[in-house]
Every structure is written in structure tokens, then in C-alpha cells.
Structure 1
Amino acid sequence: MLASSACGSDSSTTPSPSLTASARTYTSHAFSIPLIATLPDDLKVEADPDSATLLSWDSNLAENNKVRFVLPVNVYKPKQLKPAAPPQDYLTYLRGLTAQGVTLTDEVTTTVDGHNATVMTGDAAGPLDGVLGCPEANMPADDCFGLQPDLTLRIAVIDVSGKTLLAWARAEKGAVDVATFFTEFETMLKGVKFT
């Protein structure tokens, strides 16, 4: 929410407008699975980018906090130098990353606008560039999305009519706001509507 503050009591000062609930609703423009999401106050209203395969929001409060929705074009499997097609069973692939030092916790099954989803927290012992996927073909692994030892992710794997949609909230590992940010992300998921 926008906040106004005044220095003194000048009655001619017009208060800053507040954002309404509808102003916190984002409708995707280019994303290939069109959706509407109600954003928590912590996130900026506009996605940057809003492309066919990636929606990304930055936090207003913490530099490392971000929310992303990704349709992976390919992935970099651990210890592989070339990208591969996204796995048909993405959830099994994600769980298999535990053999590479990934810890997956707090797993729950739910739905996002009636579509099956599994949500879990992911942490990595070391850098795993590109293991979550790339939003474009021919991207190097370190420009794609992965798991990193300094970050913790609350990851949702959503089956949308046979397509794997990944969504996650990212925060600095050990930060005091992690639990709150993850709760806001799960509330955001509950309000997503595919259009």
C-alpha cells in the first residue's frame, strides 16, 4: 500500500491516494497461460517481464524477494552442460534433485484454480544453475533458474491442462521475513484465476 506522511500541519496538502484492492490485481498480457493474480502488498504491481514464458514480480521491501511464474522451455539437469527438454513428470524430476544436495520440505498438495498443484520448500547445498528451467531456448545455465545455497524457494508445480507451470517465491535463506513472504505467496496462489 502507498502511505502518505506529512511534515507539519499544512491543511492545503492533498493526501496521497491509496491503492485499492482492484489495483493489487494483475492480469497477464503476454504469458501463454493467461491468468489474473491478486498480489500481496509486498510485491510491485507490475510484472517485469510479462512474456510468453515468464512472469516476475519484485518485492517492495526486500531486494532478494521475488515471485516468478515460469513455463520452462528447457532445463539444465545437474552436471549436464547442454539443456534438455523439460521432464514430462516434473514433480518426480524435482524430487530427484535431492540426490544432488537439494532439501525439499513442507510438501503439500493443493489446487490452483481447480488445477492440481504440489507446493514445497526447496533449499540447495550448492549452486544448481538452470535446474528449474529456462524461459527461453539457447540460454546459458547461469542465466536460467536454479537453486542456490543462499536462497530458499517455496515452489509450486502446477499442472495446467497438461502443461507444467512452475511458480515460486524466493527469499534470502535465514531472513526474518521468509515465513511471512511464503505465506503471502501461498495466499496469492489461492487467488490465481486462469482465463
Structure 2
Amino acid sequence: MAWLLMQEISQGNREPHVLQAFRGLEGDLGYGMLLSRYAPDMNHVTAAQYQAAMRGAIPQVAPVFWSFRIMVGCGSLLLLVMLIALVQTLRGKIDQHRWVLKMALWSLPLPWIAIEAGWFMTEFGRQPWAIQDILPTYSAHSALTTGQLAFSLIMIVGLYTLFLIAEVYLMQKYARLGPSAMQSEQPTQQQG
């Protein structure tokens, strides 16, 4: 009903009884928008269309369940690696245990995996809503064309590729020069 009243208002009907009826039902507008995906004619909604809308409003649990566990698992592994490295550093033996250094090296991607898993959990977990109970995700899409989206994506990937090339170049340059390249020269004092 809220969806139909909103359509009536958007077509120019601003009569007080229509506006008052909409204000009373506007909390249900998001659910009407969910139903509009399955029922093109909101004046004649079938029971099957209601059922489809209700099934579409139930989020899938498994992707959220596993992405949360991946996020927490990566964080726990990072904490474990940090504690092992800290203990070996405090003992003064970190350079004698190459496995600790290798473990630290191999754990470098874990923060990014945790971030992506957390992002996925957040975005997937709020389905089917972009704004809870107000705006369904299928109605919240951008008006960009495929070409515009592809162009912006290519530009971003290109820019970050240039950043990556510059970063790798600078890292290799300073790694070859060694630690002494990072120190500035100390002024010599004249003896007199």
C-alpha cells in the first residue's frame, strides 16, 4: 500500500488524505519496494509473488558465517605470529630461528584477507537492504552504464599499477644500496 501511495504522490496527487495515508504507512515502504521486484503490477499481487518476495528477503547464512570465521581466523593467526616473533625477539634469538622469519613473511597477506572477508561479511550480511527496511539493494544500484563503469575501473587499476611499479622500483633500489643509504652523513668536526 505504501508503494502505491508513493507512486500516486510522485505522479502529482498531493491531496491531504493521500499524504496522511502515506505518512501512516511510510515505514513499510521498503517492503513494498521489495515486493515490486517480484510484482510488476502492485495493484494485482498474487500469493506466489508475496512468497517470492518473502523468500528473497531472507539472507543466506553460510557466506556470512564463513567470511566471519575467515576474518577472525586471519586475525588470530596474525596475533599468534606476532607473539611468537615477540618472544623470540625478547630472547634475542629471532635471527637464529629462520622458521619464525619465514612464518612472518608468509603471514603478510593475512591482513588483506581479513579485511576482504570482513568487507564481504558486512556487505553480504545486510542483504537484501542497502538501507535497513527502507531501500532494497536491487533498487540502490548506480545509473552508470557498463562502459562508464569499465572505464573508471580501468583508470583505477591503471593508476594503482603505476603506484605498484614505483613502489617496487624504490624498494629494489634502496634494498640494493643497503641500510647505509638510509643514514645521512654526519658532519665532521674540525680539530683545532
After TM superposition, is the score higher than 0.5?
no
TM-score w.r.t. structure 1 length?
A: 0.20
| Bigger-Rg structure (1/2) | 2
Structure having the higher strand fraction is: 1
TM-score w.r.t. structure 2 length?
A: 0.20
Structure having the higher helix fraction is: 2
